[in-house]
């Protein structure tokens, strides 16, 4: 059989180090203001190949949606023995992310059966 692929990795830039004389030696918790701050330069690195679907929801809006990859009508790009596609053919996307963003990684079954607005409605309903 053949398959499509969608992989996401969350990356954070390292936080600046505190000076040795001001750094706390032992802490059971982070101060609320620091804990609630979004991580600086947090990004998702996504590799996408085929007609599987990726969607980033921010608040009540779609901030990003993957584009399906097709060889032609009814012929999605797929990895498999009868395909010329290679993993190196994947689209590489880098997206900045924020606290409380929701990433959906799904097979084509989701996008074949629900419109993007319907998926978004379910995410918003779930968050309430």
Q: Tens of pLDDT along 21-37?
A: 555 554 455 454 545 55
| Cα–Cα dist 59/102, whole Å | 9
Question: Which has more confidence, 29 or 96?
Answer: 96
| Cα–Cα dist 48/89, whole Å | 9
What's this model's pTM, rounded to 2 decimal places?
0.74
In what order do the strands lie in the sheet containing 61-65?
61-65, 53-58, 102-106
pLDDT tens readout for residues 105-127: 999 999 999 999 999 999 999 98
Q: Between the CA of residue 103 and those of 5, 7, 29, 46, 64, what are the distances in Å?
A: 15, 11, 28, 11, 9
Tokens at residue 101, please? Answer: 């963003």
| Cα–Cα dist 58/48, whole Å | 20
- What is the rounded average pLDDT of the residues 79-97? 92
Number of alpha carbons in the 13 Å side-chain half-sphere of residue 3? 6
- What is the rounded average pLDDT of the residues 70-75? 89
């Amino acid at each position: 059989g053949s398959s499509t692929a969608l992989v996401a990795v969350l990356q954070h830039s390292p936080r600046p180090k505190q000076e040795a004389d001001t750094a706390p030696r032992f802490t059971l918790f982070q101060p609320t203001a620091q804990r609630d701050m979004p991580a600086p330069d947090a990004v998702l690195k996504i590799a996408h190949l085929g007609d599987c679907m990726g969607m980033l929801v921010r608040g009540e809006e779609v901030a990003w949606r993957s584009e399906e990859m097709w060889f032609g009508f009814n012929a999605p790009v797929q990895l498999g023995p009868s395909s010329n596609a290679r993993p190196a053919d994947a689209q590489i996307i880098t997206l900045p992310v924020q606290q409380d963003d929701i990433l959906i990684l799904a097979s084509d079954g989701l996008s074949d059966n629900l419109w993007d607005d319907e998926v978004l409605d379910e995410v918003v309903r779930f968050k309430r």
